[in-house]
């Protein structure tokens, strides 16, 4: 319970910006009364790169590499979202094979992002073995995606009208081995972690977010679905080929750290389902649309586009004046919104639970400091 009166023993504690559990340069200014948190103020901006301002000084194509450098764990999803947004604005029709390839790689990227979160979260809570297993699985994904994208982290694989290059045999061979291995590994994770009494005690009934509070703070992604709200843009406002795929919107009702863990674990299974369906449906054909202009110039006006990234809803808004360079561009990134709730969520909790609550939110600092 939050202590009602401040005593002369209350003090401030700086958690970060160098604390290992903040995974970057996030700074939490905590006001404490003993072990109890009275106030929390998230402080950001330590690694601001000015991507939105850079967009106003580059052509639409030149800005493409910037997209994957906002959320470096879901870089291909950002790359994909940017292309979809501009293609919609410019009425560019993407070949069917390229659309399947994009979706396939986006789900692989979502899976690799969740794996890194899983490993890092358990490491923050003191469990080293799951971290090693998770990074072993993630390494397989990076090798597979590297076969066609040429990158391991900051992907710039999509292009306006298609993708850079087609899938090769090494890609298919790698997936053939990886998918059954990953399904088996998910069972191991549940045995190793989901039933672990230490993990349960560290996460159950900790950092509870009610559906009403989640909506009030505009949470999205697994953090919202962990509070029982079945909102996923791939279903609610479908884009690309998602309406043609059979997958579930994963939810949990408790709203605590354990519920958010359950949602991400279930989403990894759904990623595998979508990947398998993509491979089964993958058609032949071109991977790049014909007649795409060298310089993308959307008609003058205001545009917006939304996309479901591994951490939640990404919103892209820009103002075009008919030239090759956007007049203004604004990115609504999920981590920036999701982290705001800490100012209301942490007061009343113990300092020992801060790492568990922060880790369950799954924050990537570069997309906050964009």
Give percent of the chain with pLDDT exceeding 90: 86
> What does the pLDDT read at residue 4?
46
> What does the pLDDT read at residue 21?
65
CATH code assigned at 142? 1.10.645.10
Read off the pLDDT of residues 226-283 as tens digits, 9 standing for 90 and up.
999 999 999 999 999 999 999 999 999 999 999 999 999 999 999 999 999 999 999 9
> What does the pLDDT read at residue 45?
87
Q: Quick one: which of 150, 141, 171 has its CA closest to 310?
A: 141
The phi and psi torsions of 146 (rounded to 5 degrees) equal -65, -25
- Give, for 353, the enclosing helix (H) or strand (E): none
Residue 64 in any domain: the answer is: yes
Q: How far is CA 202 from the centre of its chain?
A: 23
> What does the pLDDT read at residue 6?
52
Residue 361 in any domain: the answer is: no
What range does the domain containing 83 cover?
Answer: 51-333
Residue 25 in any domain: the answer is: no
Read off the pLDDT of residues 275-292 as tens digits, 9 standing for 90 and up.
999 999 999 999 999 999
> What does the pLDDT read at residue 8?
64
List of the chain residues with pLDDT < 50: 1-4
Q: Quick one: which of 130, 131, 164, 126 has its CA closest to 148?
A: 164
Domain count, the chain: 1
Question: Alpha-carbon distance 274 to 107, whole Å?
Answer: 7
The phi and psi torsions of 44 (rounded to 5 degrees) equal -120, 175
> What does the pLDDT read at residue 210?
96
Q: 3-41 burial string, b = 16+ CB within 10 Å, else e?
A: eeeeeeeeeeeebbbebebbbbbbbbebbbbeebbbebe
Residue 95 in any domain: the answer is: yes
Token pair recorded at residue 227: 């509070």
Question: Alpha-carbon distance 77 to 247, whole Å?
Answer: 18
Average model confidence (pLDDT) across the chain: 93
Question: Alpha-carbon distance 11 to 139, whole Å?
Answer: 43
Token pair recorded at residue 35: 């072990």
- Give, for 127, the enclosing helix (H) or strand (E): none
pTM, two decimal places:
0.94
> What does the pLDDT read at residue 88?
96
> What does the pLDDT read at residue 143?
96
Please give the torsion angle defined by the CA atoms of residues 312, 162, 104 and 368, in that order, rounded to the nearest 10 degrees: -20
The phi and psi torsions of 95 (rounded to 5 degrees) equal -55, 150
Token pair recorded at residue 209: 């977010």
> What does the pLDDT read at residue 28?
92
């Amino acid at each position: 319970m939050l202590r009602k009166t401040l005593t002369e023993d209350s003090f401030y504690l700086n958690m970060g910006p160098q604390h290992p559990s903040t995974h970057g340069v996030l700074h939490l200014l905590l006001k404490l009364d003993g072990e109890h948190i009275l106030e929390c103020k998230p402080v950001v901006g330590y690694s601001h790169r000015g991507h939105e301002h850079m967009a106003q000084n580059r052509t639409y194509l030149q800005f493409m590499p910037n997209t994957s450098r906002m959320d470096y764990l879901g870089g291909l999803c950002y790359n994909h979202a940017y292309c979809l947004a501009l293609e919609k604005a410019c009425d560019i029709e993407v070949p069917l094979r390229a659309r399947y390839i994009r979706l396939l790689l986006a789900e692989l990227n979502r899976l690799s992002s969740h794996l890194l979160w899983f490993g890092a979260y358990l490491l923050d809570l003191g469990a080293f073995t799951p971290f090693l297993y998770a990074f072993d699985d993630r390494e397989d994904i990076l090798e597979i995606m590297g076969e066609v994208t040429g990158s391991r982290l900051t992907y710039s694989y999509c292009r306006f009208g298609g993708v850079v290059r087609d899938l090769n045999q090494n890609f298919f061979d790698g997936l053939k081995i990886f998918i059954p291995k990953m399904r088996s590994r998910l069972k191991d994770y549940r045995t190793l972690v989901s039933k672990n009494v230490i993990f349960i005690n560290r996460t159950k009934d900790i950092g509870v977010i009610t559906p009403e509070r989640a909506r009030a703070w505009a949470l999205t992604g697994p953090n919202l679905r962990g509070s029982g709200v079945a909102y996923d843009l791939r279903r609610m406002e479908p884009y690309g080929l998602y309406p043609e795929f059979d997958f579930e919107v994963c939810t949990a009702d408790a709203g605590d750290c354990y519920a958010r863990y359950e949602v991400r674990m279930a989403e990894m299974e759904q990623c595998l389902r979508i990947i398998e369906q993509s491979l089964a449906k993958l058609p032949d054909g071109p991977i790049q649309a014909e007649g795409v202009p060298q310089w993308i110039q959307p008609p003058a006006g205001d545009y917006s586009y939304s996309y479901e990234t591994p951490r939640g809803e990404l919103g892209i808004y820009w103002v075009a004046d008919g030239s090759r360079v956007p007049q203004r561009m604004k990115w609504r990134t999920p981590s920036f919104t999701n982290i705001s709730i800490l100012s209301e969520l942490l007061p009343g909790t113990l300092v020992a639970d801060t790492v568990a609550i922060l880790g369950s939110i799954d924050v990537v600092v570069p997309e906050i400091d964009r």
